[in-house]
Amino acid sequence: MREAVTAFNEALDIYRRQGNPIKAAMIIDFLGSVHEMQGEYPAALAKYQEALALMQQYSSPQNVAITENDIARVRAKMAA
């Protein structure tokens, strides 16, 4: 997983430098998924919320809905 996080962070830096907020949001969402798979729910929630903020500004309603679902799922896991 460490290698995946490193690769995602490198990609995120590239997309931010390119000024590509949609791709950056997708990578941030992927980072949230990695945290979620590792049971790091507060970190996952933070990444999903960061991705959602970008998605709401720059992406489609479908992508917004997917990220909102990610947030709901993690909140449910945290409440369990």
- Which tens digits make up the pLDDT trace of 22-80? 999 999 999 999 999 999 999 999 999 999 999 999 999 999 999 999 999 999 999 98
Domains of the chain in sequence order: 2-79 (1.25.40.10)
Answer yes or no: is pLDDT of 1 > 90.
no
List Cβ<8 Å contacts ≥24 apart for 51-56. 51/25, 51/26, 54/21, 54/22, 54/24, 54/25, 54/28, 55/22, 55/25, 55/29
Torsion of CA 31, 35, 36, 38, to 10 degrees: 140
